[in-house]
Amino acid sequence: MEDRLLIWKLNRGSEDALCRIYEKYRDDLVRIAAGLLNDVGTAEDVVQDVFFMLVHSAGKYEIRKSLKGYLTSCVVNRIRNLNRTKSTQDPVSLDDVLPAVSDSKAPDQSVISDEEFQYLYKAMAQLPYEQKEAVILRIQGRMKFKEIAKLQGTSIKTTLSRYSYGLSKLRSMLNSEVEK
Amino acid sequence: MRPAENIKRLIKNTRIKINPEVKKAALKELTDELEKSKTAGLVGTKPDMWRIIKQPLAMKLAAAVVIMTTLYFVIFYAGTNEQSGNTELREVQSKPLAEMMSILTINTIYRQGGFDAVQRHFEVISEMKDSHHRHMVTLRDILAELNGNGYDRRQL
């Protein structure tokens, strides 16, 4: 209900509504994008582009379902377009993946805390993109399998398979990393 | 062996520390962009009512029901208002006396305004009679005469 009201206000040019939507969803969207891209800087750029698109389309389109779902779909589609042009998803070994943590104290750098999460991101970089997408959208995006299947253009069964294969691969990779 | 639930928890609890200055600057960019869009007239205008009505199915049905209900009331109730009935009654009362007392005329008046209208009609008729027979002729008198009760008017 709040989202519908915010959209209604945004369609009428309300800055407060825009700020509220930004505060509410920006961090989650960056988290999802960072998981898909393995790069927080690019993730922030993608999310910013999506919000720009939202501002430009205010009043032109009607968002009938969940606002978060809509924004997440936009982020995912934008990342796919980016991957098509950049080919950043070539499989790499764990040793070759650049650390997601930045030691720079520059204000435009974001950091990922905790060694555990570093291992996680390294492991996720090895997953095929569709499986990684299914896992992140399900767990971090809290999307239903039906919504993920629609986004990926596949059946629910295929999405479920991708999700469970992705999780078991992550488990085996993280376990082998722990055993080292 | 790390259970699957642990992996899910790990993914779910991923934290990304975001520089608040960066976030603030990004939000400022967006609000500036929104202002530009408003100035250009792209945002903040009232949405097209017809576009809103025609899109969702529920709105289409609601609009159809409203239109049909309005048409129904206009067609079926517009011709039976009191004003048109009163106009007809006045037209009847302006005709010659003999015609005013005809059964057809009385029937018409009754349909328009009931017994009260017929009573008023006969009051008008009685005023039009000459002084020799001047008296108030009631509906009961007329019905009695029509029913053949041998009622003598001269005795009134």
Long-range residue pairs from B79-87, CB within 8 A, at least 24 positions apart, any chain = B85/B112, B85/B113
> Which pLDDT does position B63 carry in this prediction?
83
- Residue B35 makes CB contacts below 8 A (sequence gap 6+) with A15
The answer to whether residue B13 scores a pLDDT higher than 60 is: yes
Q: For residue A111, what are the β-bridge partners? A: B17
> Which pLDDT does position A128 carry in this prediction?
92
Percent of chain A with pLDDT over 70: 77
Three-class SS state of B82 = helix
| Chain A residues touching B48 at Cβ < 8 A | none
In this complex, is the C-beta atom of B58 within 8 Å of any C-beta atom belonging to chain A?
A: no
Q: Which of B29, B31, B47 sits opposite A59 (nearest CB)?
A: B47
The answer to whether residue A134 scores a pLDDT higher than 90 is: yes
Report pTM.
0.58
Chain A CA closest to residue B36: A56
> Which pLDDT does position A74 carry in this prediction?
93
Measuring CA to CA, how many Å separate B60 from each of B53, B55, B74? 6, 7, 21
Residue A106 dihedral angles phi and psi, to the nearest 5°: -65, 145
Closest alpha carbon to B124 in B97, B103, B151: B97
| Distance of residue B53 Cα from the nearest chain A Cα, in angstroms | 12
The answer to whether residue A7 scores a pLDDT higher than 70 is: yes
Q: What is the DSSP string of A62-117?
A: ---S-HHHHHHHHHHHHHHHHHHHH-TT----GGGSPPS------TT--EE--HHH
Chain B CA closest to residue A40: B16
How high is the mean pLDDT of chain B?
A: 69
Cβ atoms B148, B138 nearer than 8 A: no
Band the pLDDT of A50: cuts 50, 70, 90.
very high
Average pLDDT over residues A70-76: 92
Band the pLDDT of B120: cuts 50, 70, 90.
confident
Band the pLDDT of B129: cuts 50, 70, 90.
low
> Which pLDDT does position B131 carry in this prediction?
47
In this complex, is the C-beta atom of B7 within 8 Å of any C-beta atom belonging to chain A?
A: yes
**Does A77 or B19 have the greater pLDDT score?**
A77
Residue B149: is it exposed, middle or buried by C-beta count within 10 angstroms (0-12/13-18/19+)? Answer: exposed
> Which pLDDT does position B118 carry in this prediction?
82
Whole-angstrom Cα distance, residue B99 to residue A64? 70
> Which pLDDT does position B57 carry in this prediction?
76
* Contact between chains at A19 and B14 (C-beta distance less than 8 A): no
How high is the mean pLDDT of chain A?
A: 80
Lowest mean pLDDT among A44-58, A92-106, B12-26: A92-106
Residue B43: is it exposed, middle or buried by C-beta count within 10 angstroms (0-12/13-18/19+)? Answer: buried
> Which pLDDT does position A132 carry in this prediction?
93
**Does B70 or B95 have the greater pLDDT score?**
B70
Taking CB atoms and an 8 Å cut-off, how many pairs form between chains A and B? 113
Chain B CA closest to residue A10: B44
Q: Which of A29-43, A114-128, B134-148 has the highest mean pLDDT?
A: A29-43
Reported ipTM: the value is 0.71
Band the pLDDT of A21: cuts 50, 70, 90.
very high
